[in-house]
Amino acid sequence: MTAVSGFFHGIANRFRALPKWVRVVLLVLLALLVYLLPILNPPLITTTGSDFGAVLFLCALYSLVALGLNVVIGYAGLLDLGYIGFFAVGAFTVGVLGSSHAKLPLLLCIPLAMVATLVSGILLGAPTLRVRGDYLAIVTLGFGEIIRLALVNTDWLSGPRGISNIPTPPSFHLFDVPHVTWQGFTAYLDLENTTDFLTFSVTDSIPYYWLALTCVIIVLFLDKLMQNSRVGRAWEATREDEDAAELMGVPTFRFKLLAFATGAAIGGLSGSLFATKQQFINPDNFTIIYSVLFVAMVVVGGQGNRWGVIVAAVLLTWAPERFRFLADARFLLFGVLLIVLSVFRPQGLLPPRRTLRAKEADQEAPDTIDAEGVARA
Amino acid sequence: MDLLIHHFWELTITGLAIGAVYALVALGYTLVYGVLRLINFAHSEVFMYGSFAAVWVLMALGAGKATGMGLVGYLVVGFIAAMATSGVVALIVEFVAYRPLRKRNSPPLIALISAIGASFTFSELMGLRDKPLKWFGLEGLQPYLGRARENLPLTLHVDTKRVFPVFNYQVTNIDLIVLGSAIVMMVILDQFVRRSRLGRGIRAVAQDAEAAALMGVNRDRVIRLTFLIGGVMAGAAAMMYLLKIGVTRYNAGFILGIKAFTAAVLGGIGNLRGALVGGFVLGVAENYGGALFGNQWKDVVAFVLLIIILLFRPTGLLGESLGKARA
Amino acid sequence: MPESTTTPEHDDAAPLPEDHAARPEGHVARPEDVDTTPDTSVDISVEEVTDLPQGKMLEVDDVTLRFGGVTALDGVSFHINTGEILGLIGPNGAGKTTCFNVMTGVYQPTSGGVRFLGEPLGRRKKFAITKLGIARTFQNIRLFHNMTALENVLVGADAHHSSGIFSALLRLPRHRAEEEEGMDRAHELLKFMGLEKRANELARNLPYGDQRRLEIARALATNPKLLCLDEPAAGFNPAEKVKLMELIQSIRQQGYTVLLIEHDMRLVMGVTDRIVVLEFGKKIAEGLPAEIRDNPAVIAAYLGVDENAS
């Protein structure tokens, strides 16, 4: 396992050593490849039983969720077990504003949904972030369920039947993109099977995937900007030693609230995307089991490592689709995975930079006495 | 409001009955938290397995309608089956999900993650019943084990008999059985923790594990014992739950677990008497809330109560303390 | 004269968790030990510090602090003048760190109060007090262990920054200016402490002495007017203590006022202008070092206490 993450970090290091323009070009090419995945339909990766585009959409969507939750759990160290609540607020705000009580265009609904979710994050966080860590987990769990129950029981918001006819993003038509089909390992352009660029409809998941992927890229960008700033430092300091951080002038409560609100907003964005793709949402889609799934993604990926959580999100979404026999036992496997990881690899698949730096530094300086006062052989 | 006033006694007494179930399950949460500072998410599954054990055993014995001594016999068997199974499952959970972490000195967040994983693993295992049966060619057993994700009813049927009235509510025999067994279990536990050597050991470890170890208390054994006791209590609660509700399923533990945890926090986590008080308060509050706002909001009452308590009185009604001499 | 070699005892003000052990004997030097001599020619003063009026900077007014049945501080009163180095000494459990905790907002006094530059501290939160101008180090080192030395100091420098998440996301001019200012100050402070070459190492991998100095650098990064040092020389050998004395004096020369808790009498006598002595939560003496050294009550307090009580 260390070999795997070592491999990735080796690549990352060599990558960082390249001149800037080379890095930019490589990244652009990589991005292009990722955008074209559902078109290319590579033989070993594609999911034969289900719509590859739809699966990729879900991968991108859950990557977004994982990034948002990573801010809360990974950066600020707050255990949130009710993230599905934010997801639901986002989705149902879009539903209410775009379908059941008004007919606002989607591009207006999404920012409004993010604002609504952000507000709910602050409303939840303000009283509860003062509470002890393990209690916070339970309170957020309760919050997630309260949201769902409120939605089921309040007809004005949703009712048990949910909301349908959710608006799609605006469509226009520029050209058709033909898909690639494979016979064995030879590729053929299939001119019958095309994707309109850019039409959003129920029949084709791929434009939705592109939309979600674009959001992921934007959030990744912003995440990096956040981390390399006073905000990121404050979160890390708070996480390391909250009292000492506060004594060094960090208004820890405000930053914890900020982490919560940021995570909430990203959750709201994800929920909105989910709503517009599904076109029909129902409170049953937003059960607690998803909160746990999201937490699993962050922990499995390596809390605090934005790439790690994306890898975990993609893996945990794609694998049950690719290997269909896993699907039925999906949650059982998640449970087992969580236990096994907690015992054998608590730092996750790709531990965050700080844990890795610490490990490297320890290996380089074998005969120092570390903070615990223990001589390291 | 009328509903509440008219049915006040019914709501109160049935509330106490279901509250007794919450209370017994809450004991498990509070004990483990007191000793390990860990929220044992998998405790809800410990409860659930107990309920299934009772159903299966009674089904195997051909229990149906029963009265008198037969009824007592079946009840005893049911209770024992549930309590034994829950106890064993609790020990398994401790061994698989928590002990390895203790050995590695894992941070509490990781322990919580493992707890969640354990909860899912065990409930999904139960919910997966069909597949393994097919794999092992045991389809014949299916009628007995029930289908994977549906309700499994208790075959033992107790004629609800009105025993005596309290104001305008006729207390039933089921209410009495439930409340009675709960009180018995609580008294036994109370005496055990206060008087026995092992009970003292639990209180010592809860207060200061290192000092306790220095005094010769075997921490691992105390922890196992704690899980066992919690499990046994949950098993008893499972049988009581079956008597009241009549069915069980693979995720029956989930909502009940959250409510029981709420009860534990309500009373003061780590405080055994608090767990009992919390359970009863929650059961009754839930009923009142349902009468006031409509039955579909009953579950929300539990969550809202939890949040309010955590915000305004996090130490709970009776204050936290497994270590202090109030059992 | 009472003289004690430092064996750091328990923090006499319980709740702050996460105490890391002080350096034990037998510290193994790293093979490629980097030169970490402080460069005290670097100017680390800040405007507000050099423009302060003379007079009382901090006043502790009859502060009493009770926890449950314990009276940790009992009617303690003293003051610190601008620009002086005040020593706070006393046997184990006297209440010295508790005093620090009251001054920095960790505890609210049961009665009495603290005034800083004339203003009562009131119920201010800890970070607000830091922004007012009081900074501290800890008896048992509390660095951010998984962050680099530079990052630790940057967190301190952020104390007086105000750019928030939007500035950061949009990389507004204010954010960029503050980042640059923070970097400059951090580098100056690290150079002052002699830690420049170790800037990118994780705090937990620094040698013990460097960790102590890093904590001081981090505190200074918050632009304090008053710097409170809690046993900064714990675990140091005599040569290192001499260097520390020089360091403290240069810090004062840069304009900072210093409050020092220490056990090593030679260090205290050598570096402080005045001394306040606590015992069992009460002030038993106050005055110039020479007066304190000969004060019978002080001598009794130290000699009368069992060496092994901690």
d(CA A66, CA A293): 10
Q: Three-class SS of residue C236?
A: coil
Query: Is A335 in contact with B120 (Cβ distance < 8 A)?
Result: yes
d(CA B36, CA C283): 42
* CB of C192 closer than 8 Å to CB of C102: no
* DSSP track, A194-213: EEEET--BTTB-HHHHHHHH
Nearest alpha carbon to residue C125 among A129, A128, A247: A247
Count the Cβ atoms, other than its own, within 10 Å of residue C229: 26
Q: Which residues of A touch B265 (CB under 8 A)?
A: 135, 138
d(CA A81, CA A338): 14
Q: Is residue B147 part of a domain?
A: no
Residue matched to tokens 């025999």:
B173
Query: Is C204 in contact with A231 (Cβ distance < 8 A)?
Result: no
Contacts for B96 with CB less than 8 Å, ≥ 6 apart: A339, B118
Number of domains observed in the structure of chain B: 1
* CB of A268 closer than 8 Å to CB of A84: no
* CB of A227 closer than 8 Å to CB of A72: no
Quickly count helices (H) and strands (E) in chain A. 15, 4
In the structure encoding, which two tokens stand for residue C205, read together?
Answer: 């991998």
Phi-psi label, residue B105: left if phi above 0, alpha if psi -120 to 50, beta otherwise: left
Query: Is C147 in contact with A247 (Cβ distance < 8 A)?
Result: no
Q: pLDDT in tens for each of the 310 residues of chain C? A: 333 333 333 333 333 333 333 333 334 444 445 666 777 777 777 777 777 777 889 999 999 999 878 899 999 999 999 999 999 999 888 889 999 999 999 999 999 999 998 889 988 999 999 999 999 999 999 999 989 999 999 999 999 888 888 888 888 888 899 999 999 999 999 999 989 888 988 998 999 999 999 999 999 999 999 999 999 998 899 999 999 999 999 999 888 999 999 988 889 999 999 999 999 999 999 999 989 888 888 888 877 644 454 4
Does C have 3 or more CB contacts under 8 Å with A?
yes
Nearest CB to A365 within list C30, C159, C211: C30
* DSSP-assigned letter for residue C76: E
Contacts for A343 with CB less than 8 Å, ≥ 6 apart: B100, B101, B104, B114
Higher local confidence (pLDDT), B319 or B297: B297
**Domain definitions of chain A by residue range:** 2-352
State the Rg of chain C over Cα. Answer: 19
Three-state SS sequence of C82-134: CCCEEEEECCCCCCHHHHHHHHCCCCCCCEEEEEECCEECCCCCHHHHHHHCE
Q: Could you give the angle at the alpha carbon of A212 between the alpha carbons of A211 and A213, nearest 5°?
A: 90
| Helical H segments across C171-288, by residue range | 173-193, 208-221, 238-253, 265-271
Q: How confident is residue A356, by pLDDT bands cut at 50, 70 and 90?
A: low
d(CA C310, CA B131): 63
Count the Cβ atoms, other than its own, within 10 Å of residue C112: 17
State the Rg of chain A over Cα. Answer: 22
* CB of A233 closer than 8 Å to CB of C153: no
* CB of A213 closer than 8 Å to CB of A35: yes
Q: What is the pLDDT of residue A269?
A: 96
| pLDDT tens digits, A169-179 | 888 887 777 78
Tally of CA atoms within 13 A in the half-sphere of C189 that contains its CB:
29
d(CA A284, CA C220): 55
Q: What is the pLDDT of residue C24?
A: 36
* CB of A164 closer than 8 Å to CB of A99: yes
Q: Which residues of C touch A231 (CB under 8 A)?
A: 164-165, 168
Q: What is the pLDDT of residue A77?
A: 83
Q: A44: distance to nearest CA of chain B, Å?
A: 28
Residue matched to tokens 């390291």:
A376
Candidates B39, B129, B307, B313, partner chain A, best to mutate (most A CBs within 10 A)? B307
Is pLDDT of A143 > 70?
A: yes
CATH topology of domain C42-133+224-310: Rossmann fold (3.40.50)
In the structure encoding, which two tokens stand for residue C296, read together?
Answer: 């019978």
Query: Is A373 in contact with C146 (Cβ distance < 8 A)?
Result: no
Give the alpha-carbon dihedral of A137, A138, A143, A148, to 10 degrees.
Answer: 110
Q: Could you give the angle at the alpha carbon of A120 between the alpha carbons of C169 and B288, nearest 5°?
A: 165
Architecture of domain A2-352: Orthogonal Bundle (1.10)
Residue matched to tokens 């001594």:
B69
% of chain A beyond a pLDDT of 70: 88
* CB of B286 closer than 8 Å to CB of B278: no
Query: Is B113 in contact with A134 (Cβ distance < 8 A)?
Result: no
In the structure encoding, which two tokens stand for residue A163, read together?
Answer: 């909301």
Pairing of the two strands B157-158 and B169-172: unpaired
Q: What is the pLDDT of residue A331?
A: 77
Q: Is residue B103 part of a domain?
A: yes
Candidates C146, C201, C215, partner chain A, best to mutate (most A CBs within 10 A)? C146
d(CA C152, CA A362): 19
* DSSP-assigned letter for residue A304: T
Residue matched to tokens 């995975």:
A337
Higher local confidence (pLDDT), A164 or A248: A248
In the structure encoding, which two tokens stand for residue C283, read together?
Answer: 């002030």
CATH number at B192 reads 1.10.3470
Amino acid at B123: S
d(CA B319, CA C1): 50
Q: Three-class SS of residue B175?
A: helix
Q: Is residue B307 part of a domain?
A: yes
Q: A25: distance to nearest CA of chain B, Å?
A: 39
The DSSP element (H or E) to which C74 belongs, if any, is strand C70-81
d(CA C238, CA C246): 13
C163: nearest CA partner in chain A: A230
* CB of B40 closer than 8 Å to CB of B233: no
Q: What is the pLDDT of residue A60?
A: 94
Count the Cβ atoms, other than its own, within 10 Å of residue C108: 12
* DSSP-assigned letter for residue A73: I
Q: A12: distance to nearest CA of chain B, Å?
A: 27
d(CA A296, CA A373): 34
CA distances from B74 to B67, B154, B239, C136 (A): 10, 12, 11, 69
Q: Which residues of A touch C141 (CB under 8 A)?
A: 371
Residue matched to tokens 């879900």:
A58
Amino acid at C188: E
| pLDDT tens digits, A165-215 | 888 888 888 777 778 777 777 777 777 677 777 778 878 888 899 999 999
Q: Which chains touch A (3 or more CB pairs under 8 A)?
A: B, C
Q: Number of CB pairs < 8 Å for A and B?
A: 120
CA distances from A91 to A148, A155, A167, A265, A270 (A): 12, 16, 12, 12, 8
ipTM value greater than 0.90: no
Q: Residue B267 sits in which domain range?
A: 2-142+152-312
SS3 content of chain A, % helix, strand, coil (to 5): 65, 10, 25
Contacts for B161 with CB less than 8 Å, ≥ 6 apart: B172, B173
Measured between CB atoms, does A240 come within 8 Å of chain C?
A: yes
SS3 content of chain C, % helix, strand, coil (to 5): 35, 20, 45
d(CA A322, CA A58): 13
Contacts for A175 with CB less than 8 Å, ≥ 6 apart: A197
Candidates A118, A229, A252, A370, partner chain C, best to mutate (most C CBs within 10 A)? A229
Phi, psi of C285 (to 5 degrees): -165, 155
| pLDDT tens digits, A117-126 | 999 999 988 8
d(CA C228, CA C177): 29
Candidates C175, C202, C206, C223, partner chain A, best to mutate (most A CBs within 10 A)? C202
* DSSP-assigned letter for residue A100: I
Q: Is residue B128 part of a domain?
A: yes
Instruction: Name beta bridge partners: C257.
Output: C226
Q: Which residues of B touch A81 (CB under 8 A)?
A: 116
**What number is the average pLDDT over the span B51-76?**
82
Q: A244: distance to nearest CA of chain C, Å?
A: 7
* CB of A376 closer than 8 Å to CB of A369: yes
Amino acid at B293: F
